[in-house]
Chains A and B, each alone.
Chain A
């Protein structure tokens, strides 16, 4: 088996004449966290449903773990866990009973079932409230229960649709941590979100959706270089004489700007932190702080679509 777990080629979805997803192609590697990002209605959920065989594919093809979701959806769904947007459970059943029902649908052997359920609930910190009916759960707890379902299923791929929407910052951080844990166990994760900065930290690669198409795809750093052009911004805080001039001579630095007392901001085409540190030390300065600003998805996104808009207007 190859290292590509999801392979979509020219995936298209038409609803009575309107195109919801327009020839989208991407692939997700084993153990990778891939983000589908973009505004609501850009076609992220439809793409996910096509991969799961839950909606028909109008054109193009998809392969999930080597299976065709149109022809053999059961084989796909056996190895893929799905956490839908604002997931729901049977409110009158306890968390444990909800998972039991799913476990039976999955076809887990009876001997294995209880142990797997208890383990999954413990891993999302719901073991203590597992006997309570889900109706009493908060949004974040339901989201975690959805994740527990995926853990219980022991999947190769987890597909999470807007996993962090509607969660408070604390719950979001916890959830993102759990997603990182999935990756650590070798599970590939495909997640969709319209909240760019929240998921930026967990995604290895992202695809930015706009109106049913993938506008940009790659790692955040790559996209930053591609769209923002400038690449890296390095903040240097150091005490010493004439440091700004010395830093300007570091190879790769394109501009130097003094932003405050003892503070300099460098724009460079690559990560120049080691060279900048060496330059400060060589000039006899005292280096206090050295940090690189990661390009933010938000900035990339805004800039990209701003440019696009300008091009359309022209």
Chain B
């Protein structure tokens, strides 16, 4: 049976209200400061390293994002760790707080569909994160300009912009996951604990566990280079179940034009280098070629966001309004 009326009615109203809640809330303030301070520290560290190095690098500006200085990780790996935290922090009580405040049935008795509430909440969360990430990104670029005294090239800006957009979708995955849990679990504490648990598992434990699982599934003798690459890609396939792995691959390829394959770090760890026939090792790839390498990962992140959102949507539509 078709229902009448638009599911989009009220999305804008919900979006604006939720956005203003996020932006004025104490929680977002704390999360933002956490990210900004650590990120600035990381970038400051990388600037020191870049200043000290005398090597000629046509993509020096991009090193701002990837260069690390002990004990701090690089800006990019910091983002891969902190962005999920912010997204989970915003998302874990998006829907169940409406239940516990007893506002849900009152809001849904207004002439809007449930769709509008969910869309508005998700978009507002994503917009909040996007606003802070854009601000952070501009801050880093500005710091680079000031302290390195170096103007980025057009290609560097393009690559940095891709990273910004991918980071927003990476946040989307975690936000959608947190929202799904906030729909399933009526208690905000349960939802928060489970999402954080899953986040820790996927970002810290899974990179350690996935090679073991992969080898157990696809164990075979390594006789040739082909076999080795085969084993590596099985391992990679399993590692990619974690969105952090996808994000890491995208960042490593997009921000470093010399990287020609997402397996390069794994080979490097074995003391091997990938040499393609007819290529000059270490020569930078054109922007579009780098994009082609990680296009699948980018689409994967977007698809994961959509899938998790749809799962939450389906559960929410079938849920009873009353507690």
Contacts and interface: CB of A to CB of B under 8 A. Distances in A.
Interface of A: 45-46, 49, 52, 54-55, 70-75, 77-78, 80-84, 86-91, 101-102, 104-107, 146, 149
A71 B111 contact: no
A83 B107 CA distance: 10
Contact of A149 (B13, B106, B112, B113): B106
Interface string B1-40: 1111100011001100100000000000000000000000
B321 A74 contact: no
A54 B103 contact: no
B141 to A, nearest CB: 35
Q: Is chain B's interface secondary structure helix, strand, loop, or mixed overall?
A: loop
A104 B107 CA distance: 11
Most buried by A among B17, B106, B109: B109
B102 A88 contact: yes
B53 interface: no
B101 A91 contact: yes
B3 A71 contact: yes
Given A49-B322, A54-B108, A106-B110, A72 B102 contact: no
Contacts of A73: 3, 5, 113
Given A71-B1, A102-B110, 9 more contacts: A49-B322, A55-B322, A74-B112, A77-B112, A82-B109, A83-B106, A102-B107, A105-B13, A106-B110
Contacts of B17: 101, 104
Contacts of A101: 13, 17
A72 B106 contact: no
B289 interface: no
A72 to B, nearest CB: 4
A49 B111 contact: no
A86 B102 contact: yes
Nearest to A79: B111
Contacts of B113: 73-74
B101 A71 contact: no
B110 A90 contact: no
Q: Contact size class for B?
A: 20 to 34
B226 interface: no
A104 B4 contact: no
B304 to A, nearest CB: 30
Contact of A84 (B10, B14, B106): B106
A80 B320 CA distance: 20
Interface string B300-323: 000000000000000000001110
B105 interface: yes
Given A86-B102, A90-B101, A149-B106, A74 B5 contact: yes
A260 to B, nearest CB: 51
Contacts of A84: 102, 105-106, 109
A87 B3 contact: no
Contacts of B10: 104-105, 107
A160 B112 CA distance: 19
Given A49-B321, A105-B13, A74 B111 contact: yes
A45 B13 contact: no
Contact of B5 (A75, A87, A105): A75
Q: What 8 A-B pairs have minimum CB-CB distances, sorted nearest first? A: A88-B102, A82-B109, A74-B5, A72-B4, A105-B110, A104-B13, A78-B111, A84-B105
Interface of B: 1-5, 9-10, 13-14, 17, 101-103, 105-113, 320-322
A90 B103 CA distance: 7
Nearest to B319: A55
A100 to B, nearest CB: 9
Contacts of A102: 106-107, 110
A86 B102 CA distance: 8
A224 to B, nearest CB: 33
A75 B103 contact: no
A146 B103 contact: no
Contacts of B109: 52, 54, 77, 80-82, 84
Contacts of B321: 49, 54-55
Given A54-B105, A55-B321, A87-B102, A77 B1 contact: no
A75 B281 CA distance: 67
Contacts of B106: 82-84, 87-89, 102, 146, 149
A55 B4 contact: no
A71 B3 CA distance: 4
Nearest to A149: B106
Nearest to B14: A105
Contacts of B1: 70-71
Contacts of A74: 4-5, 9, 111-113
A69 to B, nearest CB: 10
B111 A77 contact: yes
B281 to A, nearest CB: 59
A165 B10 CA distance: 31
A49 B106 CA distance: 11
Contacts of B9: 74, 107
Nearest to A80: B109
Contacts of A49: 105, 321-322
Contacts of B14: 105
A45 B322 contact: yes
8 contacts: A46-B322, A49-B322, A55-B320, A74-B9, A77-B112, A82-B105, A89-B101, A104-B13
A163 to B, nearest CB: 13
Contacts of A89: 101, 103, 106
A230 B109 CA distance: 43
A61 to B, nearest CB: 12
A77 B108 CA distance: 9
Contact of B111 (A87, A105, A149): A105
A105 B107 contact: yes
